[in-house]
Amino acid sequence: MNFHLHSTWSDGVYTPEIIVKEAIKRKIDKIAITDHYQTSKTASLPPKYLKMYVDDIKALRKKYGEEIDIYIGLEIDFSPRTDIENLPEFEDVDFLLFEYVQDELWDGYPLWMLLDLRKKYEQPVILAHNEISRNFRDVDYTSLARVMESDNIGIELNTNYNYTKLDMPYYRLAEDFFAVLREFKVPISVGSDMHDDLNELAQVEDAFSFIQDMKLEDNFKLFLSEVSKYEE
pLDDT digits (tens, 9 = 90+) for 94-114: 999 999 999 999 999 999 999
Q: Residue 229: is its pLDDT beyond 90?
A: no
**DSSP designation for 216:** -
List the CATH number of the domain containing 145.
3.20.20.140
Pairing of strands 164-165, 125-128: unpaired
Domains in the chain, number: 1
pLDDT digits (tens, 9 = 90+) for 206-215: 999 999 999 9
How high is the pLDDT of residue 85? 94
Q: Residue 191: is its pLDDT beyond 80?
A: yes
As a 3-state breakdown, the chain gives helix, strand, coil percent values, each rounded to 5, of: 45, 20, 35
pLDDT digits (tens, 9 = 90+) for 8-66: 999 999 999 999 999 999 999 999 999 999 999 999 999 999 999 999 999 999 999 99
Q: Residue 230: is its pLDDT beyond 90?
A: no
For residue 59, CA distances in Å to 16, 48, 71, 99, 174 come to 10, 19, 11, 27, 39
pLDDT digits (tens, 9 = 90+) for 126-160: 999 999 999 999 999 999 999 999 999 999 999 99
Q: Which domain holds residue 99?
A: 2-231
Q: Residue 195: is its pLDDT beyond 90?
A: yes
Confidence band for 231, pLDDT divided at 50, 70 and 90: low
Pairing of strands 164-165, 168-169: antiparallel
Burial class (CB in 10 A: 0-12, 13-18, 19+), 97: buried
Q: Residue 232: is its pLDDT beyond 70?
A: no
Residues with Cβ < 8 Å from 36, sequence gap 6 or more? 6, 10, 11, 42, 43, 44, 45, 74, 75, 77
Torsion of CA 83, 196, 191, 226, to 10 degrees: 60
pLDDT digits (tens, 9 = 90+) for 65-99: 999 999 999 999 999 999 999 999 999 999 999 99
Q: b/e for 72-93, b at 16 or more Cβ within 10 A?
A: bbbbbbbbebbebeebeebeeb
For residue 104, CA distances in Å to 96, 131, 161, 168, 213 come to 21, 11, 20, 21, 30
How high is the pLDDT of residue 157? 98
